[in-house]
Structure formats: C-alpha cells, structure tokens
Amino acid sequence: MFSPSIFLQGLGLGASLIMPIGAQNAHVIRTAVRGRHVLPTVAACILIDVTLIALGMSGFGALVESSPRVMMAARWGGAAFLLWYGLRCLRSAWRGQENGVADDDEAAAQPGSASRALGLVLALSLLNPHVYLDTVVLLGAVGSSLAQDHRTSFAAGAMTASLLWFSGLGLAARRCAFVLARPKVWRAIETFTGLTMLVLAALLVRAA
C-alpha cells in the first residue's frame, strides 16, 4: 500500500544523503561541463543508487555492516582510488584548462572511451564506502524498521531523490557549461574536485 507521507520521508532522507558534495556529485559536474558521456554518467549514478537502496531494503546492509574485513578492504581500496583521482584533477588544474581538455579530447576519440567513462563512474561509486554506508546501511536500516507495507513507499522516495538530484545536477551543470568551462572557473572546479577527493580519501584512511 502506497503511503505519500512515507514516500516523502524516503525522499527527504535520500536527498539529505545524496545532495552533499562527494565523489559522485563532483564527477557528474566535471563530466557535464566537459559535455561528454553526460547521460550515461548520470544514468549510471542513478542505477547504482537504486540498486544499492534496493539491496539495503532487502537486509543486505546488516550483512555488510557485520563484516569488518569487507569494510576495511573497501576503505583502503576506496582511499587509494580517491587519492589517484584527486591528484589527477589537481594536475589538470595546475596544467591549465587547455592542456587538460586537449588530453581528454584525445582520450575521447579513442575506441571504448564511453566504456572507460562508465568504468570511472562505477569505481567512484562502488569503491567509496560512504556510498554503501548512506544507501545500503543507513537507508536500509531506516527502511527496514518500517512496517512491511510502508517499505516500498520509503524505497520509492529514496530512489526518486537519486533520480531527481543526479538528473537536475547534470542538466544544470551542462546548461551552465559556458560559464563553468571558462579557464579560471574550470581550474577552480578541478581544484575543488581534487581537494574533495583527497579529503574523502583522508577520512577513509582515518576511519580504517
């Protein structure tokens, strides 16, 4: 039975967890400004979130949380990847927009660049333990505490938050690309993205 109030509860909690800047959001903005593989990137972020929310509602969150070795491996692996990605963005900012765009244009012209773009989204999402903690563990725990006939409404609300947020973020960044792609602004975006990734990596190492 669908419950509008429970749906809004899932929508609100889902939005509060998804909207703060993180690896996925920073990457969506970066991709949208460059104007390449925007739709697959946004679709992949939504699909990953929807899948993880569904897993959390099925009780998978409790299994993940009860396995310290899995969480430890995810933290160190995620920290290593975020460190690499953050340094990559800072290097692009240091070299300036022209060199960074030229490098990416050359890479985009090569076969399989769309596959590499999707691979990067998967890595940023699935190698980041915060994604699991937010979607699988936290949303799963809250949703599982509800009455059985309310869980579907809660999950639908949380999934809708992901759909609306990533779609809106990609569209807004793409519409503002003419401003965001200016050399100074782009370097600021690259610097901010790089620093965000380094902070997330440091937080993961600290929590390990």
Q: Which residues contact 34 (CB under 8 A, 6 or more apart)?
A: 101, 104, 181
d(CA 124, CA 69): 20
d(CA 196, CA 76): 17
Looking at residue 11, what is its pLDDT? 94
Of the segments 8-12, 65-69, 121-125, which one has the largest average pLDDT value? Answer: 8-12
- Could you list the beta-strand ranges (E) of 8-166: none
Q: Which of 22-26, 72-76, 162-166, 190-194 has the lowest mean pLDDT?
A: 72-76
Looking at residue 109, what is its pLDDT? 39
Looking at residue 96, what is its pLDDT? 64
Quick one: tokens of 104?
A: 């990416």
pLDDT at 110 over 60: no
Stretch 139-168: mean pLDDT? 89
128: left (phi over 0), alpha (psi -120 to 50) or beta: beta
Looking at residue 134, what is its pLDDT? 76
Residues 11-59 pLDDT 10s: 998 898 888 767 788 888 888 888 888 898 999 999 999 998 998 888 7
pLDDT at 104 over 60: no
Q: Give the residue from 201, 165, 190 showing the smallest Cα distance to 88.
A: 190
* Of residues 122 and 75, more confidently modeled: 122
d(CA 207, CA 71): 10
Looking at residue 63, what is its pLDDT? 63
